[in-house]
């Protein structure tokens, strides 16, 4: 079908879906879980074909690992659906209510965003998670997964689509795009598509931003920092640095640059080097660092680089102010950590570091929707508008203002015959 | 100064400003009010020059009216500053707090957006309102007002800038751009500017969106509808239609298209025509309308047009479903009204009309930050992301996640040595 028609139909489905009750959406989520379990053999078989073809195409082994969708991953996905059912409906919540005047009441009520286009990597579990988050938040979706997972994505899409149809969810709420051409077309459809969520490389996200008028929610880079302050607990600082850098190197919340207070560097860096050497991490240091430990020199380019690899750049700084200035200059506004025993320095760092996630005395790797208790996430936003940091259900809704009067007109207030009361109410939206 | 350097300095000021207390910001607002009052003669003199020059350039009289900044407008502006001082500080509010595990606590805390570029029409009072909203919400600003108000803007800017410097607000937080060239340059500075708020014509807002990677908050069009349902109170329907259309025609929340239920049209339309004729409103009707009252024919183009003038297009519809479909097809997502006595139809209209403001039994002209009780507004947003509808202080802040641990690392949770508690807390952010 033409992408334009697909999007137009999906937009209509979005409007119908915005009125579906939380109960019915939960019923549909349960139906998806059931259907995936019933058809697990077919899903796994389709995935084996994708994996086999991708091995033949010499896909890198970490990517093969992400592509694989076995019984264990299916069971995780079904657990995820069940926990999503347990979360409160994010739609229809009264966020503010104000009496403007007698019998003239204003309500700010949460509602779905509408039609969301999501482009994601070759991870079939992402398709299920994203669809489920969209459904629970009342949004219709145009989904484009990685080419490598094509067969798995198709069967998952068909199962989800038929399960939700049976549960009474409006047709066309979920749609699968299968070519890059369709993605290019989607980027032009700003009359139907309300939001694009691209997951992928920095270059890819920037490409999307430059080729669409549709708002984009995503993160471009994850250049995360850890600053070890003077007086920091050495043992904790070591554990946090190692975990942030090595617990999973290929992800956006992994550590890329370590900043160390000059008065603690001589003690901390040799101990750190010993631990990181064991884990095959290559260090690149500033001149001061290289006077303490032997390592490659870091250039200006290193401070701007997201390695996503076993490499760490190290800089010695004069204190928390220099650390903050470095992060605000070279960072990407994702996640930055201070290890310190000083309350004043922690507060300063958290106030002035201009990032979505500012952490004290814990690993940068905690920056994640599941770990934050949001159930799951559609991504991590380094945008400052709308949703920032890990984005779960709440980031997928907006609000509208509902004002109920009894024949009220503005002329009465302009001519001072009537006056606003602007009294805060504590009740939920309801039409009398 | 080069625009790039100006923006870079303003961005640094934004970071410093993000840590300034509510008390100090209020002190600065009071200082602005005092300074404007002290220098009122100079301000008014500068404005007279702007007005005189604009009359010489044959500027339309409604625009001259907006440009004029007399003692009355100055006193309104000072009242506005004082009421802003009375509002709660929107920065530093704890919006969510969760225990992730023992001694690992997550807080979502409101914070300023950063550096905001605002381009506004030739209304000197807007400069003061916008600066004051930015200051109270902790944001630095790049301001570009209409050319016609150049001299008034310059003196207002200088007074605000020196008053806030004296009150201890970081230098360079407020900056005046004075040429279109500088605005063009600003649009490219996405590394420093966090948000653009354009106020002006539809074409102007689209131009900005197409020429910048910076997020834009604004509304393109205000094609507002009123649907008069079968069984509506005739007297209220008349008053609401007249007020929505004629109370102030040149504004975005004025009515452009009236939708009337077919069973009530024969009674309602002749009475409406009589009233609108008195007010010189030209009617353009669909074929069915023209069988009831004499008027110009409405074309497809009329349904898509924001007249901002004494013109109203009228369409007869079969019921609330057709009204909703018409609005979602031709509307601009701004403000739409239903006049009805049916609770079911009001609920349906409010749920399914995909607009920022959906009103029942009151005028579309209520869609305004002051009338909503937000103090004042920087504009009305038809974006769905971040802020929707009239945007006051709350729309000018974002949030960051602050996570405080005690040496916590992710490996412990990945290896199941520790487990998340995800317990909702009720306390405000504080470093122990």
Neighbours of A432 (CB within 10 A): 9
Q: How far is CA A184 from the centre of its chain?
A: 22
The pLDDT tens digits of the residues spanning A395-408 come to: 888 989 899 999 99
pTM (predicted TM-score): 0.88
**Cα B89 from Cα B28, distance rounded (Å):** 13
**B positions 35-64 inside 8 Å of A (CB):** none
Instruction: Answer yes or no: do A402 and B358 touch at CB < 8 A.
Output: yes
Binned at pLDDT 50, 70 and 90, residue A6 comes out as very high
- B95 is a domain residue: yes
- Do B337 and B391 fall within a single domain? no
Tokens of B207: 């131009």
Beta-strand ranges (E) seen in B27-150 are 94-101, 104-112, 115-119, 140-144
User: How buried is B121 (Cβ within 10 angstroms: 0-12 exposed, 13-18 middle, 19+ buried)?
Assistant: middle
Tell me, yes or no, whether B168 and B284 share the same domain. no
Q: Are B143 and B127 in contact (CB under 8 A)?
A: yes
Set of chain B residues whose Cβ sits within 8 Å of the Cβ of A242: 409
Q: Is the pLDDT of residue A228 over 90?
A: yes
CA atoms within 13 A on the CB side of A96: 15
pLDDT of residue A220: 67
What ipTM was predicted for this assembly? Answer: 0.87
Q: For the domain that residue B228 is a member of, what is the CATH number? A: 3.40.309.10
Do B67 and B193 lie in a common domain?
Answer: yes
Please judge whether A351 and B410 are an interchain contact, meaning their C-beta atoms are less than 8 angstroms apart.
no
Query: Do A255 and A202 sit in the same domain of this protein?
Result: no
In a 10 Å sphere around its CB, with 0-12 CB exposed, 13-18 middle and 19+ buried, how is residue A79 labelled? exposed
Q: Residues 19..38 of B with a Cβ closer than 8 Å to A: which? A: 19
- Is residue B389 domain-shared with residue B263, that is, in the same domain? no
Residues 350-389 of chain A whose Cβ lies under 8 A from any Cβ of chain B: 350-352, 354-363, 365-367, 371-373, 383-386, 388-389
Is residue A335 very low, low, confident or very high in pLDDT (cuts 50, 70, 90)?
Answer: very high
Same domain (yes/no): A322, A387: no
- Chain A residues in contact with B355 by the CB 8 A cut-off are 400
Chain B residues with CB under 8 Å of A13 CB are none
How, if at all, do strands B174-176 and B296-297 pair? unpaired
Cα distances from B391 to residues A428, B368, B378, B379, in angstroms, run 22, 9, 6, 6
Are residues A143 and A28 located together in one domain of the fold?
Answer: yes
Structure tokens at B382: 């038809």
Residue B413 has φ and ψ, to the nearest 5°, of -85, -35
- Whether the CB of B342 is below 8 Å from some CB of chain A: the reply is no
pLDDT above 90 (res B121): no
CB B14 within 8 A of CB B112: yes
* Sign of the CA dihedral running B104, B110, B115, B119: positive
CA B358 to chain centre: 16
- Within a domain: residue A14? yes
Which residues in chain A are closer than 8 Å to B409, comparing Cβ atoms? 239-240, 242-243, 247, 362-363, 365
Q: Are the Cβ atoms of B346 and A404 closer than 8 angstroms?
A: yes
Nearest chain A Cα distance for residue B182, angstroms: 22
Q: Is the pLDDT of residue A219 over 80?
A: no
Contact A38, A166 (CB under 8 A): no
Instruction: Identify the closest residue of chain B to A115 by CA–CA distance.
Output: B384
What mean pLDDT comes out for the span A380-409?
A: 87
The confidence score (pLDDT) of residue A378 equals 82
- Does the residue A418 lie in any domain? no
* Structural domain total, chain B: 2
CATH code of the domain containing A34: 3.40.605.10
Residue A104 has pLDDT above 80, yes or no: yes
B195 vs B206: CA distance, rounded Å: 15
Domain that holds residue A358: 224-366
Asked if the Cβ–Cβ distance from A239 to B114 is below 8 Å, we say: no
Q: Name which of B352, B373, B420 is nearest A371 (Cβ-Cβ).
A: B420
Nearest residue in chain B measured CA to CA from A214:
B209
Structural tokens at position B145: 């007002």
Tens of pLDDT, residue by residue over A189-216, are 999 999 999 987 778 888 888 888 888 8
Say which range, A89-103, A239-253, B21-35, B189-203, has the weakest mean pLDDT. B189-203
Output A389 or A243, whichever has higher pLDDT.
A243
A299 inside domain? yes
For residue A392, the model assigns a pLDDT of: 84
Q: Based on the domain organization, do B322 and B280 belong to the same domain?
A: yes
Clarify whether residues B204 and B244 are in a common domain.
Answer: no
Structural domain includes residue B416: no
- Provide the pLDDT for residue B267: 96
- B7, B186 Cβ separation under 8 angstroms: yes
Looking at residues A23-37, what average pLDDT do you find?
97
Measured CA to CA, the distance from residue B194 to residue A312 in angstroms comes to 29
Say yes or no: B108 and B183 in one domain: yes
Q: Cβ of B356 and A400 within 8 Å? A: yes
pLDDT at A375 exceeding the cut of 80: no
User: Is residue B182 included in any domain, yes or no?
Assistant: yes
Residue B393's pLDDT band (boundaries 50, 70, 90)? confident
SS3 content of chain B, % helix, strand, coil (to 5): 45, 20, 35
Encode pLDDT of B25-81 as tens digits. 999 999 999 999 999 999 999 999 999 999 999 988 878 888 999 999 999 899 889
Q: Does A239 contact B384 at a Cβ distance shorter than 8 Å? A: no
- A355 and A320, same domain (yes or no): yes
For residue B104, what pLDDT is reported? 94
Burial class (CB in 10 A: 0-12, 13-18, 19+), B419: exposed
* Residue A186: per-residue pLDDT: 96
Chain B neighbours among A 279-318 (CB < 8 Å)?
none
**Is residue B410 one of the residues assigned to a domain?**
no
Of B215, B247, B399, the CB nearest to A388: B399
Predicted pLDDT of residue B220: 67
**DSSP character at residue B424:** E
Q: How far is A113 from chain B (nearest CA, A)?
A: 6
B33 assigned to some structural domain: yes
Sequential DSSP letters for B198-221: E-S-HHHHHHHHHT-SS-B---S-
Residue A10 near chain B (CB below 8 Å): no
Amino acid B7: pLDDT: 96
User: Same domain for A206 and A230?
Assistant: no
A213 at interface of B, judged by CB pairs closer than 8 A: yes
Give the nearest chain A residue to B348 (CA atoms): A19
């Amino acid at each position: 079908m033409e992408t334009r028609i697909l999007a137009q139909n999906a937009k209509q489905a979005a409007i119908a879906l915005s009125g579906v009750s939380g109960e019915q959406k939960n019923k549909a989520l349960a139906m998806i879980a059931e259907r995936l379990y019933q058809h697990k053999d077919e899903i796994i078989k389709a995935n084996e074909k994708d994996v086999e073809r991708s091995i033949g195409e010499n896909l890198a082994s970490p990517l093969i690992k992400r592509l694989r969708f076995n019984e264990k991953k299916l069971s995780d996905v079904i657990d995820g659906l069940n926990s999503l059912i347990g979360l409160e409906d994010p739609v229809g919540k009264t966020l503010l209510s104000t009496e403007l005047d007698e019998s003239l009441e204003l309500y700010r009520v949460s509602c779905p965003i509408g039609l969301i286009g999501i482009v994601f990597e070759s991870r079939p579990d992402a398709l299920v998670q994203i669809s489920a988050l969209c459904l629970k938040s009342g949004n219709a979706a145009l989904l484009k997964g990685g080419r490598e997972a094509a067969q798995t994505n198709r069967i998952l899409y068909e199962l989800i689509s038929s399960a939700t149809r049976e549960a009474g969810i409006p047709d066309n709420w979920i749609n699968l795009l299968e070519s890059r051409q369709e993605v290019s077309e989607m980027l032009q459809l700003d009359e139907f598509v309300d939001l694009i969520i691209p997951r992928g490389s920095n270059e890819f996200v920037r490409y999307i931003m430059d080729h669409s008028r549709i708002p984009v929610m995503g993160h471009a880079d994850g250049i995360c920092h850890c600053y070890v302050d003077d007086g920091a607990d050495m043992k904790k600082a070591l554990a946090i640095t190692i975990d942030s850098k090595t617990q999973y190197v290929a992800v956006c919340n992994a550590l890329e640059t370590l900043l160390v207070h000059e008065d603690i560097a001589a003690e901390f860096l040799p101990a750190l080097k010993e631990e990181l050497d064991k884990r095959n991490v290559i260090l690149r240091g500033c001149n001061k660092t290289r006077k303490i430990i032997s390592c490659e020199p870091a250039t200006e380019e290193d401070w701007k680089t997201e390695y996503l690899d076993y490499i760490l750049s190290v800089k010695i700084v004069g204190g928390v102010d220099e650390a903050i200035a470095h992060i605000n200059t070279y960072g990407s506004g994702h996640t930055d950590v201070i290890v310190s025993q000083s309350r004043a320095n922690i507060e300063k760092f958290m106030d002035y570091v201009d990032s979505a996630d500012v952490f004290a005395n814990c690993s940068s790797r905690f920056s994640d929707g599941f770990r934050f208790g949001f159930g799951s996430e559609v991504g991590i936003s380094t945008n400052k508008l709308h949703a920032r940091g890990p984005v779960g259900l709440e980031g997928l809704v907006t609000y509208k203002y509902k004002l109920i009067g009894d024949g009220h007109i503005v002329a009465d207030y302009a001519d001072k015959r009537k006056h606003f009361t602007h009294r805060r109410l504590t009740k939920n939206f309801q039409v009398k």
